[in-house]
Amino acid sequence: MIVNTTKGEMDDSLLEKREGSLDNDNESTTWVEYWLAGELVHRSVHVALKKNVSSAVEAASFN
Amino acid sequence: MANTQAMTTSFMGELMTATHNFGTAPVRATGATDSFKGALYLASATVNASTTAYSSTNEVTGTNYTAGGVAVTFGTPPTATNTSTTAGVAFVTPSASITYTNVTLTTAFDAVLIYNSTQSNKAVSVHTFGSQTVTAGTFTLTMPANTTSTALIRLATT
């Protein structure tokens, strides 16, 4: 697979792949990194938002 | 029959489409849907509920990232649903992921500001996430399901 890197497009067989993830109430996140000789040359992140923003509205009472 | 004090759910939905105007501005010259954008902010920024409009201050900068961010598509109109005689929810969610393609953002960022680029860049909402950087890669924000409980933007009676 060809990967876009800071060195240009490279075949992933030439790179070290590292992956990670984070999951909590707010988000489910994954990332993938490609390293070349100890240098980070690609990092992509995918964040799936779980938590919305919500505003409460109310009709006031006269009494 | 009995009357029940409530904010009507239809009103909440209509707030999302600018049907009601209790003030004098803005004057809407068109019934067309506004355009919205999503801008990323550094972890050191202070975008929050008091943010009134997009600003480039403390916005991320980097290769292939354009100040102001990218378009946010609301392909599905807001929905307003009654949950009881006294309560309801109006909600809307972007219909597509927000994607920043082939960017390099080396300073940590942790928030996106969604704002109305048609209406003087007025702020809509701020969404935070774990601090990230991107290197010659893609940053994608995937939206939650557009339901009464999970939609990204909700107005709800309590």
Provide the residue range defining the domain that includes A13. Answer: 2-49
The residue-averaged pLDDT of B125-133 equals 94
Pairwise CA distance, residues A58 & B144, whole Å: 26
Q: Which residue out of A1, A9, A47 would a mutagenesis test of the B interface target, given it has the greatest number of B Cβ atoms within 10 Å?
A: A47
Q: What is the ipTM of this complex?
A: 0.91
CB B132 within 8 A of CB B109: yes
Per-residue pLDDT tens digits for A13-22:
999 999 999 9
Average pLDDT over chain A, rounded to whole? 93
In a domain, A57, yes or no: no
- The reported pLDDT for the residue numbered B86 is 81
A58 within domain boundaries: no
With beta carbons under 8 A apart, name residues in chain B contacting A32: 137
- Please say if the pLDDT value at position A63 is more than 70: no
Residue A54 in domain: no
Instruction: Report the C-alpha gap between A12 and A15 in whole angstroms.
Output: 5
Residue A34 lies in a domain: yes
- Give the per-residue pLDDT at A29: 97
Q: What percentage of chain B has pLDDT greater than the value 90? A: 69
Give the residue-averaged pLDDT of B119-148: 95
What is the pLDDT, as a whole number, of residue A56? 83
Extended beta strands in chain B, E state = 36-42, 70-72, 79-82, 88-92, 98-116, 122-142, 153-157
Instruction: Quickly list H helices, B20-149.
Output: none
Q: Say yes or no for a CB contact (<8 Å) between A53 and B133.
A: no
Kindly tell me if the per-residue pLDDT of B69 is higher than 90.
Answer: yes
Instruction: Write out residues 68-87 of B within 8 Å (CB-CB) of A.
Output: none
Q: Would residue A62 count as lying in a domain? A: no
Contacts of A27 in chain B (CB under 8 A): 129-130
Give me the pLDDT at residue A1, please: 94
pLDDT tens for B104-124 read 999 999 999 999 998 899 999
Instruction: Assess B99–A contact: CB distance below 8 Å, yes or no.
Output: no
Closest CB to B5 among A27, A31, A61: A61
Residue A63 lies in a domain: no
Q: What is the pLDDT of residues B70-104, one digit of tens each?
A: 999 999 999 999 988 888 999 999 999 999 999 99
Q: Are strands A53-57 and B153-157 parallel, antiparallel or unpaired?
A: parallel
Contact B130 A27 (CB under 8 A): yes
Mutation target to probe the A interface, by most A beta carbons within 10 A, among B83, B134, B142 is B142
**Domain total for chain A?**
1
- For chains A and B, CB pairs below 8 A equal 100
Q: Is A33 a member of any domain?
A: yes
Query: Which sequence spans correspond to the domains of chain B?
Result: 9-18+34-156
Q: Which pLDDT does position A53 carry in this prediction?
A: 83
Nearest alpha-carbon partner for B17 in B157, B155, B158: B155
pLDDT-derived band at A9, boundaries 50, 70, 90: very high
